Structure 1
Amino acid sequence: MIDQLIEGNKRFLETDFLENKDYYQGLSTGQSPKVLWIGCSDSRVDPERITAARAGEIFVHRNIGNIVPISGWNFATVLEYAVNHLKVKDIVICGHSDCGAIKGLGKETNDAYVPFWLGNAITAKERVDQRLPPASTPEEEKARLNEIVKENVRLQLEHLRNYPLVKKAEREEKVTLHGLYFDIESGILSPVT
């Protein structure tokens, strides 16, 4: 697989990089993205690809389940850097269909770290469990999973608003928060309301 990645880089250099050499040279001196994208690590949901964004336009933080942890140094440093130093104008939390993290909510496992991490999202499942009856068909199960994914986006926006620097930036209208949902099967990216 590593050989394929190196070959892919050669194709990138021969096409996109050469065609946009001035643009990439400009990026070599710094970045000024306008968006912080908090997305899932799922290999099928590449933010730049699904939005047709160019290098340097999106500051990306990805993790299992597009989670905004209640506390966590890794996430907090990304957030602080994006808001205070890069001065992003928008923060996106993007969930997606067929999310393995959401499928794993409340499931028994021998994993040491995953259940602890997913504790940051279990409230989304609990909320949907209160609203919807258990699924009785595969179609209902798929719809239920997608609803939990969207509820998780809403929950993570709530978590994000608990960070003092986000509260301040929103109050001062320096940043706007957005929830998005990506449907892998259709390729459609849509707002979560």
Structure 2
Amino acid sequence: MSRFPELQELMSGNGEFRNETEEEHPGLVEELAQGQHPKFAYLGCADSRVPETEVFGAEIGDLFVSRNVGNQFNIDDLSAETTISYAIAHLGVQHVIVMGHYGCGAVQAAIASESDEASTDIGEARIDTWIRPIRSLFKSSNHSHIVAFREAHADDETIAAPNRTEPAFRALVEENVKQQVRNLADDSSVLKVSLSSPSTELKRSSSSGEEPVELWLHGWVYDVDTGLVTDLGVSVGPSGSADSE
């Protein structure tokens, strides 16, 4: 371990985590060892600046998590599909949260011209393939900021990666979250059944036994400049109804 002092920092941090958790929540680790009962499933970006537990001030055991580059949900992504399906069908989560963040590198790359290295570098090729759905969203979106940006750069041979304060960039971050909410509601097998059929009763296990729950899907965005989380107001619940709150 002495060869890698940066790893020792992580191990030391684990010691602090154990001490602080036991001090603030005595017995929580032992309790969770018996089983997990998260109320929330979370689909977010893999960006290191958006650690969901810290962002929400949550505790271990609160969130069942799937993260990837650009907080995307695609029908052929077995990992995300399995994570969300397990959270709903076996853990009985009540809320599925999709959260993107301003300054997202995947969204930024989707706006910029495709990298020349994608044809020769396997890593760049994989990244380019992964962000294609976001690139397609950028090209088809009718959001006013995105349309204005496309028109302003229509004659440019190449488009540089935008600054994170660029309105079209921020708008595409939000549009991407909304698209993933739609993808989840339309494509995820368990979610589709749970949201469209009032007769489908979900159960949540708790210390007092099983209790019925309504499933809700939400779209949020995190601001890396301020730490603020904003609800985009695209929540979907039973029978596909929009959240009125």
Fold conserved (TM > 0.5)? yes
Q: Distance in 2 between matches of 1:70 and 1:121?
A: 14
Name 1:190's counterpart in structure 2: 230
Asked whether the equivalents of residues 38 and 92 of structure 1 are also in contact (C-alpha less than 8 Å), the reply is yes
Counterpart-to-counterpart distance in 1, 2:169 and 2:194: 32
Task: State the alpha-carbon separation in 2 of the partners of residues 23 and 141 from structure 1.
Answer: 41
CA 1:22–1:130: 2 relative to 1, 3 Å:
closer
Change (3 A) 1:21 1:158: same
The RMSD of aligned alpha carbons is: 2.1
SS at match of 2:133: coil
Q: State yes or no: 1:169 paired with 2:194.
A: yes
- Please give the per-residue CA displacement for 1:99-133, whole angstroms capped at 9, x wherever unaligned: 00000115322212111111232233124466331
Runs (5+) with no aligned partner, structure 2: 1-5, 119-123, 154-161, 199-213, 234-245
- What secondary structure does 1:105 align onto? helix
Counterpart Cα distance in 2 of 1:16 and 1:89? 25
Q: Does 1:112 align with 2:125?
A: yes
Aligned-pair identity (%) = 28
Whole-Å separation in 2 of the counterparts to 1:146 and 1:99 = 9
Map residues 56-67 of structure 1 onto 2, 5 A cutoff. Answer: 56-67=61-72
**Cα distance in structure 1, aligned partners of 2:18 and 2:80:** 32
**Higher relative contact order (Cα pairs below 8 Å, separated by 6+ residues):** 1
Please say if 1:14 is aligned against 2:27.
Answer: no
Q: Secondary structure at the match of 2:71?
A: coil
Match of 2:37 in 1: 32
Q: Structure 1's 45 and 140: CA in aligned 2 closer, same or farther, altered over 3 A?
A: closer
Which entry has the higher C-alpha Rg, 1 or 2?
A: 2
Contact 2:42 2:99 in 1 (8 A): yes
Aligned pairs (5 A) from 1:131-170: 131=144, 132-134=147-149, 142-161=166-185, 162-170=187-195
- Alpha-carbon distance, 1:13 to partner: 2.1
**TM-score, length-scaled by structure 2:** 0.72
Number of equivalent positions: 192
Q: How does 1:62-77 map to 2 (within 5 A)?
A: 62-77=67-82
Task: Please give the alpha-carbon distance, in whole angstroms, between the structure 1 residues aligned to 2:32 and 2:85.
Answer: 21
Tell me the amino acid that sits aligned with residue 170 of structure 1.
Answer: L
Find out whether 1:87 has 2:92 as its counterpart.
yes
